[in-house]
Structure 1
Amino acid sequence: MDPIERRNELAQLEPELVKTLPPLASTLTEEYITIPGPLVKRLKVIRPTQVPPSAPLILLFHGGGFRAGTIEQVTRPAREFAETFGAVVVSASYKLLPEHVFPENIEDAYDTLVWVAKNAKEQFGVDLLNGFVVGGYSAGGNIAAVLAPLAIERGDLPPSVQLTGSFIIIPALLVPDILPKEYTSLYTSRVENKDGLGDDALTTQVLDAIIAALKPDVHSSLFSPFNCSDGVLKKLPRTYIQVGGKDCLRNDGVVYEAFLKARGVAVKLDLSETLGHTAYSVFTQKGDEEELELKAKTMEGMKWLLRL
């Protein structure tokens, strides 16, 4: 499908899927705010009606192959994080293909991260010392994984503020050129799962086309945390990774777990053997056993990041 067609399709579909979710809890509020700047950015904010003094802040970036997706995509987990953990959850987007190629997506997302950090108290009523998690799904998982070390490298967050967790869901993090040799035996899913799982699966061929369209410098730290120095990597916060056993991206997450562990980072990996490129979002509404497992892992992963 043409990238613009896909973008338009999801822009229509995701808000409709939000309407099919259970009603918003009476203890929560949802609102849209904008970040001022050359390009007005719209954020979706989900938070308790009365934000508790201990509230953490969770910033989430949607998936969509760097070319599609909206801030509505993560509404389901965002609501549950807010209700269960008393968190303020901010859903954000970023510049998309084909109009914007690497590294515009990362720089745009980084600007959002810095703005949220600098305005956490005024805009959201949150003290980031309670917890500050950056996360994302698929392409958003790549972005979240890149932003954590980038924030350390650049030092643009307010004094005393640092990320306390990374929530990395079904991410794209590797290409063969940057795979550390010691993990070659783990990097098998691009071949084993090249056809994906299901009719609308992410295949290795589609993934390669997306990366080609992105036109990245694959050796840049803006493309992957695998390109960061050990000095930066050792400072990373707790990191939660979730992958599907039938996903062609499975071993991006598996290798990343091993890579971080070797550098002393606290990391937790969940691998759902029977699942493909899927995650707990507005698209998971069947309520079957696999989805219930996915929900449980997602909630437990965030709970672990928040040290609750």
Structure 2
Amino acid sequence: MDLNRIDQNLKESIDRFPFSLELDENEFLHHPELIQEEKENLAKTYSITAPDDITVKDIFVKSSGDDHQIRLHVYQPEKFDRNRTIIYFHGGGYIFGLPEQVDKQMFEIAAKLHATVISVDYRLSPQYRFPVPVQDGFDALQWTIKNGEEQLGINPQNLTVFGGSAGGHLAAAVTQMANDQGIKNIKHQFLLYPVIHNRLDTSSMKEFTDAPIWNRKYAEIAWAHFLGNDDKDKSIRYADLTNYDDFKNLPRTTIVACELDPLRDEGIEFSQLLYQARVPTELWVIPGAIHVFDLFEAPLTDRYNEFLYSRMF
């Protein structure tokens, strides 16, 4: 990939970043548990303290499928608006990551929007393959609906789901699952450079085979871990988000895609399906942006944050 296509200020910020976000392809394929441990240690090493006016706590919710306790990492400002609640799903290719890796962004969102953020520490693949991570997210949604008012003081009838990358996929999958079960509490889904399907056949996926941070090969490995080798090429409901028959009843949607991201065209394709179903949908394809651009300080990230703050509710 021609790195000169990256927004210049963003590229300079990436070059100054204190550590690399690149993955070891062999390790990602054969030893994902090492990457899981590395990312967990990284989040601890670069942890930041919560602002005084934001309470951070963990709530544990029993899984509907077994005895696992799903951790909900909750951020709540002192002066929160009970009608502003976000259920958030972190990225990491389904394989790594944890809520704390985006503490900085969640503190800012909670503070700027007076919002309660419930970040789901869903189980990771390949130890827990599809549909477990999606079901963990749905269990978190059901807990929020049943217990959110009593335990957090929120209005569970007015929820936004938000996620980035694989987390964007999980947010949208949970939304589809909720719609199928007649649950209408989700009023908005905000999908940041989301994974949409496992076909790996879009123009952007074919073009960006060597893009920084996320590329086609990483996507192939992630899907193999998430679905398993026997199912990685199958179109399965809630895994392939285009394999769905009730788009018209999904909530208002915002999709942010990046020009230089292999996932770009999946987000565009998903927005087209929503437009055709007459779902109020806004799509922004950001010129000069790469996957997870928002982790780097740059004017481009500032413009995205202003967009996010103005669109989340």
Query: Which residue number corresponds to residue 220 of structure 2?
Result: 208
CA drift of 1:17 comes to 2.8
Match of 1:143 among 170, 177, 189: 170
Q: Describe how 1:118-133 pairs up with structure 2 within 5 A.
A: 118-129=146-157, 131-133=158-160
| Distance in structure 2 (CA, Å) of the matches to 1:287 and 1:172 | 24
| Distance in structure 2 (CA, Å) of the matches to 1:44 and 1:276 | 27
Match of 1:227 among 221, 240, 243: 243
Match of 1:49 among 78, 102, 106: 78
Match of 1:115 among 126, 135, 143: 143
Normalising by structure 2, report the TM-score.
0.82
Q: Does 1:73 pair with 2:85?
A: no
| Distance in structure 1 (CA, Å) of the matches to 2:185 and 2:261 | 32
Q: Is the 8 A contact 2:198 2:240 kept in 1?
A: no
Match of 1:35 among 61, 78, 81: 61
Normalising by structure 1, report the TM-score.
0.83
| Distance in structure 2 (CA, Å) of the matches to 1:257 and 1:100 | 29
SS at structure 2 position matched to 1:164: strand
Q: Is the 8 A contact 1:11 1:69 kept in 2?
A: yes
Kindly provide the amino acid, as one letter, of the partner of residue 191 in structure 2.
I
Match of 1:171 among 190, 194, 201: 194
CA drift of 1:279 comes to 4.7
Q: Is the 8 A contact 1:7 1:68 kept in 2?
A: yes
How many percent of aligned residue pairs carry the same amino acid? 25
| Distance in structure 1 (CA, Å) of the matches to 2:52 and 2:302 | 23
SS at structure 1 position matched to 2:186: coil
CA drift of 1:210 comes to 1.4
Q: Does 1:263 pair with 2:277?
A: yes
SS at structure 2 position matched to 1:141: helix
Encode CA deviations 1:73-116: one digit per residue, 9 max, x unaligned.
23223222221222111111212112111212212221111112
| Distance in structure 1 (CA, Å) of the matches to 2:302 and 2:263 | 22
Query: Which residue number corresponds to residue 299 of structure 2?
Result: 289
SS at structure 2 position matched to 1:148: helix
Encode CA deviations 1:167-207: one digit per residue, 9 max, x unaligned.
11111112339x8xxxxxxx31011222113xxx2110121
Unmatched 5+ residue regions in structure 2? Answer: 1-26
Query: Which residue number corresponds to residue 181 of structure 2?
Result: 154
CA drift of 1:262 comes to 0.8
Kindly provide the amino acid, as one letter, of the partner of residue 305 in structure 2.
K
| Distance in structure 2 (CA, Å) of the matches to 1:301 and 1:75 | 20
More displaced stretch, 105-114 vs 25-34: 25-34
| Distance in structure 1 (CA, Å) of the matches to 2:32 and 2:289 | 25
Kindly provide the amino acid, as one letter, of the partner of residue 48 in structure 1.
P
Q: How many residues align?
A: 277
Query: Which residue number corresponds to residue 207 of structure 2?
Result: 192
Kindly provide the amino acid, as one letter, of the partner of residue 252 in structure 1.
E
Which consecutive segments of 4 or more residues in structure 1 shift more than 3 A? 23-26
Kindly provide the amino acid, as one letter, of the partner of residue 225 in structure 1.
L
CA drift of 1:259 comes to 1.3
| Distance in structure 2 (CA, Å) of the matches to 1:279 and 1:287 | 9
Query: Which residue number corresponds to residue 241 of structure 1?
Result: 255
